[in-house]
Structure 1
Amino acid sequence: MPGLMAAVWEQLDFKQPVAPGIKLVLGVVAWVAFVLAWHFAATADGTPSPLFPGPLQVLGALRELFMERGFSSDVLGSLRRIGISFGLAVAIAVPLGVLMGAFPLVSAFFNPLVSAFRYLPAPAFIPLLLMWLGTGDEQKIALLVLGVVWFLITLVSDVVRQVPTDFIETSKTLGASRKVILWTVVVPAALPGIVDTCRQMLAVSWTYLVIAEIVAATDGIGAMMMRARRFVHVDDIMAGIVVIGVLGLLCDLAFRGVHWLAFPYLRQRGR
C-alpha cells in the first residue's frame, strides 16, 4: 500500500498521464469505497431500511427480477428503444453537423434553429408526442431523439470546425473540389472526434430513458421502476438504476473499443 500511494503521488501532476495499472487499481478502490459507504449508510440504524436498501438487498432484488419476474424482456425493450432512437439521432445530426461545421453559410441558416431547440426541455414535448404518435414505441423513440439530436448537431459541428485550415487550403491548392475536400479531408480528420462525441451523447440518451418509459409503457426498465414505485419496492427501483448504469457503462466501453480499433494512428501518437 505505501508503494501504491507513492506511485500515485508521483503521478499527481497537471496533465500527467496515469499508468494503466494505477488507473485500474484506483477505479476498483473507488467502487469498493462507494459500495462500503452505501452499505454502512443503509445499516446505520442496525437494521436495513425499506426506503433505503443496502447493496445486498438490491443484489437480491436483481436476482429476483431476472430469475423470477422476466426482467430480461424489459431490459431488451429499453435497449431496443435506445438503439433505434440514437441511430436516428446520429443519422440526422452527423450529416447536418458536418455541413454546418464545414460551411459557415449552412451554419448561418441552421444554427439559430438548432440553438433555440437546444434550450427546450425534451419532456415538454410529451403531451404533443402523445397526441401525435399515441402511447406506443414511436412516442418514446421520438422523445429520446429530441433529447439528444440538437446537442449532437452542435457538438459535431464544433468538432468539424476544429479541422486545421491548413488541410483545407492545401487541398484547394492541389485543385480538389469542395466535394472531394469534404469527403477525403474534412470528414476523415473529424471522424475520431465525431465518434467520441457520439459516445458522450449516448449517455444523455440513457438519462432520458426513464422519462420516456414512465408514460403509458408496459415494458422497459422505466416501466418496471414505475410499477415498483406503486408498491414502494425501493429495492427494485434501485436495481433498475443499477442496471441502467451498468448498461450505460457497457455502451461507453463499446464506443471506446470502436474508437481504439478504428483509429490506431491516434494510439501511435500517444493520444
Structure 2
Amino acid sequence: MPRPLEPISPVLRIGLGISFFVLFVAAWAWLTFGGHVARIFLADPLTMLADGWRLIVEDNFLLDIAITIWRVFGGFVLASVIAVPLGIMMGAWKPVEAFFEPFVSFARYLPASAFIPLLILWAGIGEVEKLLVIFIGSFFQIVLMVAVAVGNTRRDLVEAAYTLGSTSTGIVRRVIIPANAPDIAETLRLVLGWAWTYVIVAELIGSSSGIGYMIINSQSRLATGQIIFGIIVIGLIGLVSDFLFKMLNRALFAWRLA
C-alpha cells in the first residue's frame, strides 16, 4: 500500500481511472447479458449504444445536447458574474458579511427544484425559467464559498500592503483578489458540476427540449437504453468541462502550483 498523501505518476492515475470504468462496464454486461436483471429494467451496453445512435440520427439529439449545454453555462455564468463580486465584498468587509451572510446561509439550503412551480408562474416554461433554476442553485453556493475563501486571506499580506501605503480598495484589488483567484476558480469549477444537476431537474418539468426532456420521455416508454445513454452523455460532458476547467486553472495560476 502507498503511503497516505503520497503522489502517484500520471500514467498510473490514468490507468487506475480507466480500469474502474472497464470493471464497471464488465459488471453491467454480466448483469444484463447473463440474465440476472431483466432488460426492461436495465438495458445492456449494446442496446444502450444502439438506442443512443438512433437518438442522434433520427431524433436530433445533438440539438437537445446543445440546448442543455447552453442552459447550464448561461445560468452558471449569470450567477458567477453577480456572486463572485458579492462574495469578495462579504469576505473583505465584515459589515457587508454581517448584512448578507444570514440570508445567504438560509437560501443556500433551499433546493432549486422547490422554486420551479413559482418560476413557471413568474417566467413561464421557456428558457428564462430554466436559466433561473440554475442561477438559484448556483448563486448562493458561489457567494458563500468565495466569501469564506476571501475571509481566510493571509493577514501578513494585508498588513504588509498597509505598511507600504496601500489603501483599502487597493488591498482588495492588488492583494485579496490575486491571492484568492485560484481558490475562486476552483469554487467555480465545483459549482459548475452542481449546475448540471439543476438543469436536468428543470428540464424534467415543463420542457420540450434538452437531455432531461429526452430522459423523461424515454421513461414513459420504458426505453432504459435511451435513459442510460442520456445519463452517460451528461457525465461525459461534465467530465470534459471539468477537465478543461482544470487546464484553464493550471494555465492561469501556474505560480500557485510552483
Name the TM-score, length of structure 2 as normaliser.
0.97
Q: Is the 8 A contact 2:138 2:194 kept in 1?
A: yes
Q: Which residue of 1 aligns with 2:11?
A: 21
Q: Which residue of 1 aligns with 2:107?
A: 117
- Of the three residues 226, 229, 247, the one matched with 2:216 is 226
Q: Which residue of 1 aligns with 2:169?
A: 179
Count how many residue pairs are aligned between Structure 1 and Structure 2: 258
Q: Which residue of 1 aligns with 2:133?
A: 143
Q: Which residue of 2 aligns with 1:4?
A: none
Gaps of 5+ in 1: 1-8
Q: CA-atom RMSD, angstroms?
A: 1.3
Q: Matches of 1:200 and 1:157 in 2, distance apart?
A: 15
- Residues 1:213 and 2:191 are matched in the alignment: no
Q: Matches of 1:42 and 1:145 in 2, distance apart?
A: 39
Q: Which residue of 2 aligns with 1:38?
A: 28
Q: Which residue of 2 aligns with 1:5?
A: none
- Once the two structures are TM-superposed, the CA of residue 39 in structure 1 deviates from its matched residue by 1.1
Gaps of 5+ in 2: none
Question: 1:68-115 deviations in whole A, cap 9, x for unaligned?
Answer: 211000000001101110001101110011111111111111000101
Q: Matches of 1:28 and 1:188 in 2, distance apart?
A: 36
Q: Matches of 2:244 and 2:59 in 1, distance apart?
A: 28
Q: Matches of 2:5 and 2:36 in 1, distance apart?
A: 44
- Residues 1:190 and 2:186 are matched in the alignment: no
What amino acid does structure 1 have at the position aligned with 2:243?
Answer: L
Q: Point out which structure has higher relative CO (alpha carbons under 8 A, 6+ apart).
A: 2
What amino acid does structure 2 have at the position aligned with 1:83?
Answer: F
- Once the two structures are TM-superposed, the CA of residue 231 in structure 1 deviates from its matched residue by 1.2
Q: Which residue of 2 aligns with 1:51?
A: 41
Percent of aligned pairs with the same residue? 34
Question: 1:178-228 deviations in whole A, cap 9, x for unaligned?
Answer: 111101110000000000110011110011121110122111000111111
Q: Which residue of 2 aligns with 1:246?
A: 236
- Once the two structures are TM-superposed, the CA of residue 162 in structure 1 deviates from its matched residue by 2.1
Q: Is the 8 A contact 2:133 2:199 kept in 1?
A: no
SS at match of 2:41: coil
SS at match of 1:135: coil
Would the alpha carbon gap of residues 47 and 130 (structure 1) be closer, same or farther in structure 2, given more than 3 Å must change?
closer
